[in-house]
Structure 1
Amino acid sequence: MPVYKKSMLILIVLVVAALGGTYYGLYATESEVVESLPVAQDLAADRKITVYVTGGVNKPGLVQLPEGARAAEAVNACGGLLPTADSEKVNLAQTLKDGQQLRVPERKLDGTGARSQAKDDKDLVNINTADEKALDSLPGVGPAMAKRIIEYRETEGAFQSIEDIKKIKGIGETKFAKLKDKICI
């Protein structure tokens, strides 16, 4: 076989090997990317949040839940509601966030076990559960501010104390002083 044919044959073999190696390298990289996507999704599903549940539940304390869990799941993880729990004052459909405290209030009972109808308790507006009309009835709170309060609850979660209402734009110390005896959580 002449030298130039051997050189040509070697060149063709090298070109085919280089093309094959390039094709294999590209294919192997694509399959790694495709295979890594489900793993990333599984990690997101395994993320946990820690919530502190207090008040009218059987076993108050810290619970770990999957990210995106609802308040009802946290209450169930604590053994459910006590018979004295006031479930109407907690939004069990609320989405929880890591580090949040969920307080389940208890009904005030008189000596017979019936709910006390104290005048001051009846007149308070729960800033975590009140609708726009009830919030609008508060002194210094108009329709626009009532909407901001509801929007805050939906985006940030429930108020943890009545002082948290000062986080709403337009509610400062003066307005809070007028509200504090008329609101509860």
Structure 2
Amino acid sequence: MPMYRKSLLILLLILIAVAGGTYYGCYTQEKEAVQLDVAANPAVQQGGTEKGAEITVYVTGAINKPGVVTVKEGARTADAVNACGGLLPTADAEKVNMAQVLKDGQQVRVPEKAGAETAAAAKSGNANPAAKSSTSSKAAPSGTVNINTASAEELDTLPGIGPAMAQRIIEFRETEGAFTAIEDIKRVKGIGEAKFEKMKDKICI
């Protein structure tokens, strides 16, 4: 083989080796770059979809379905309320910040409107005995004072009962409940047998 052909073949082999080495180096760098990107982005490792974090909150009060619910991180009070079926008609939404961002483990309580709880209790028969007595007791016989419903001024008209004692009777009703018999008035501090004898014909329940 002539010398120039042998030199040409050697030069060609060198060029092929250089080109192959360059290609391999670029391929290796590109592969490492892709691996770094995957490691830096867990969402890619999980199939290219990133699942948002979730939090758990406890919703109570005037709610259709109170209980523990799971919502997305960054959710607001309104989202948790809707997840529980929404507000009851008796809910006082103005006392709750529906735009507040929730935190994991937080409790949200939606209060009822003023008077709603009392109305519900009265409907179910659980109202305060004194309150029930004031609305359901019979009218007092003529000339007598109903000690369950009388005002301080009306109680003050009874023998031996002044303004201070009248107020004491009202306070007793509020704390102990309605009188079930006229004799129960003797349980009020300051009213003994003698004072009761003076007023017993002028009081009723």
TM-score, normalization by structure 1: 0.50
Higher relative contact order (CA 8 A, sep 6+): 1
TM-score (norm 2): 0.46
